[in-house]
């Protein structure tokens, strides 16, 4: 027996005054209404409604039970509305992680617009270059540089992460500007210390470059290696050497001539940037809102073409 269904039928019988009217209200035949009522009375072991061929009258227990049923069914309706509202409105706490530079230069400046659109979502943003396990570390989404290797994750491509070789005018004045990629071997090349599990981590740093004669990979070395791009930028500004840095970090420095692009005819390859989240057919509204927003703001052209 469907207890909630039987309670609903009983309430309609009391409120309409007859099995026939209750059947119309519940889209059931009078016989089915009677069956639900009899099953409920059998379950409870007592009469809810005294019925004769001429009239029906609710029992004293039936009256008390009716009032409780109305209360219970009201709570069920409230719960249903709450669930529907939850499915329709992005709300709750959303924990995401992104690389430090992308967080500082792109994500955080865009957060105000996201929060204005979705005021009931609270964001926990962890800016880190460490590779995180979404389940183990409690993240619902991650923005990461590099290729996707986990089949349990969905990857939405964002605009590629562009790198640029640069140095300060003072360093180039003192040491000369490299004219070809091999010239980098004789320069102080400041390198980024990639975190463990990164696909870019290597025992000896090499800078891949693409130029008029194709692609070349140049082994580089220098007296400074740093695991923070902003600190690496400051070292370059201080004239300590040449570095390969994210374009989003140094574009303004190059435009203002605080830094100079080195080997402008030899570009560093773009690196893929993806928004990652777990495969889940029941994606929460808060996660869906974040995914849609990030793809809208930072998605690649190819990603939009596949929508």
Tens-digit pLDDT profile for residues 90-130: 888 999 999 988 999 999 999 999 999 999 999 999 998 88
- If you search the block for the tokens 């070395």, which residue do you land on? 221
* Claim to verify: residue 141 and residue 286 sit in the same structural domain: yes
Dihedral sign of CA atoms 103, 106, 107, 110 in order: positive
Helices within 89-152 (DSSP H only): 100-102, 108-117, 134-137
Instruction: Name the band, by pLDDT with cuts 50, 70 and 90, for residue 245.
Output: very high
26-38 per-position pLDDT tens digit: 888 988 988 988 9
Q: How high is the mean pLDDT of the chain?
A: 86
What's residue 187's pLDDT? 94
Copy the structure tokens of residue 216. Answer: 């070349």
Backbone angles phi, psi at 166, to 5 degrees: -150, 160
In a domain, 266, yes or no: no
41-59 per-position pLDDT tens digit: 898 898 888 877 677 888 8
Q: Which of 277, 272, 279 is nearest to 298 (CA)?
A: 272
- If you search the block for the tokens 């140095």, which residue do you land on? 167
In a domain, 57, yes or no: yes
* Claim to verify: residue 282 and residue 144 sit in the same structural domain: yes
What's residue 82's pLDDT? 76
Helix/strand/coil for 126: strand
* Claim to verify: residue 28 and residue 68 sit in the same structural domain: yes
* Claim to verify: residue 108 and residue 138 sit in the same structural domain: yes
Determine contact, residues 16/25, Cβ cutoff 8 Å. Answer: yes
**CATH code at 203?**
3.40.190.10
* Claim to verify: residue 222 and residue 169 sit in the same structural domain: yes
Mean pLDDT of the 293-298 span = 94
In a domain, 298, yes or no: yes
Mean pLDDT of the 242-265 span = 93
* Claim to verify: residue 113 and residue 84 sit in the same structural domain: no
Question: Domain range spanning residue 189?
Answer: 163-261
Task: Flag whether pLDDT at 151 surpasses 90.
Answer: no
What's residue 139's pLDDT? 92
What's residue 87's pLDDT? 64
Task: Flag whether pLDDT at 204 surpasses 90.
Answer: no
In whole angstroms, give the CA distance from residue 269 to residue 80: 52
Among 75-89, 142-156, 163-177, 231-245, the least confident range: 75-89
In whole angstroms, give the CA distance from residue 266 to residue 216: 9
In a domain, 267, yes or no: no
Residue 274, CA distances (Å) to 163, 200, 206 in order: 16, 16, 23
Residue 126, CA distances (Å) to 16, 39, 100, 140, 141 in order: 59, 57, 9, 12, 11
Q: Annotate 103-138 with b (16+ C-beta within 10 A) or e (fewer).
A: bbbbbeeeeeebeeebeebeeeebeebebbebeeee
In a domain, 59, yes or no: yes
* Claim to verify: residue 101 and residue 80 sit in the same structural domain: no
Out of 88, 116, 144, pick the residue that ends a domain: 88
The total domain count for the chain is 3
Among 102-116, 208-222, 253-267, 293-307, the least confident range: 293-307
Out of 88, 106, 130, pick the residue that ends a domain: 88
Helix/strand/coil for 195: coil
* Claim to verify: residue 234 and residue 287 sit in the same structural domain: no
In a domain, 21, yes or no: yes
Helices within the chain (DSSP H only): 3-16, 19-26, 30-44, 60-88, 100-102, 108-117, 134-137, 169-175, 229-237, 247-255, 285-298, 301-305
Out of 62, 88, 114, pick the residue that ends a domain: 88
What's residue 260's pLDDT? 96
Of 198 and 104, the structure prediction assigns the larger pLDDT to 104
What's residue 222's pLDDT? 87
């Amino acid at each position: 027996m469907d207890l909630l269904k039987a309670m609903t039928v009983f309430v309609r019988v009391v409120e309409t005054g007859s099995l026939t009217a209750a059947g119309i209200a519940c889209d059931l035949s009078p016989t089915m209404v009677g069956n639900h009522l009899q099953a409920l009375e059998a379950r409870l072991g007592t009469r809810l409604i005294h019925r004769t061929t001429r009239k029906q009258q609710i029992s004293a227990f039936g009256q008390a039970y009716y009032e409780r049923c109305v209360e219970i069914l009201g709570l069920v309706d409230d719960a249903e509305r709450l669930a529907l509202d939850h499915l329709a409105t992005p709300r709750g706490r959303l924990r995401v992680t992104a690389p430090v530079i992308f967080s500082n230069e792109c994500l955080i400046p865009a957060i105000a617009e996201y929060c204005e659109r979705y005021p009931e979502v609270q964001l926990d943003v962890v800016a880190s270059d460490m590779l995180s396990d979404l389940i183990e570390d409690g993240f619902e989404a991650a923005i990461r540089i590099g290729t996707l290797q986990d089949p349990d994750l969905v990857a939405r491509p964002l605009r590629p992460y562009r790198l640029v070789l640069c140095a300060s005018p003072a360093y180039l004045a003192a040491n000369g500007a490299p004219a070809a990629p091999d010239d980098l071997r004789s320069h102080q090349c400041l390198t980024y210390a990639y975190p463990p599990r990164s696909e870019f981590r290597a025992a000896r740093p090499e800078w891949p470059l693409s130029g008029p004669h194709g692609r070349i990979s140049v082994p580089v070395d220098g007296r400074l290696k740093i695991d923070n791009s902003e600190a690496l930028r400051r070292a370059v500004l201080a004239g300590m050497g040449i570095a390969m840095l994210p374009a989003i970090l140094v574009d303004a420095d190059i435009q203002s001539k605080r830094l100079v692009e080195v080997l402008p005819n030899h570009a560093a390859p773009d690196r893929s940037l993806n928004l990652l989240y777990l495969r889940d057919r029941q994606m929460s509204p808060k996660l869906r809102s974040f995914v849609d927003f990030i793809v809208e703001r930072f998605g690649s052209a190819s990603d939009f073409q596949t929508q």
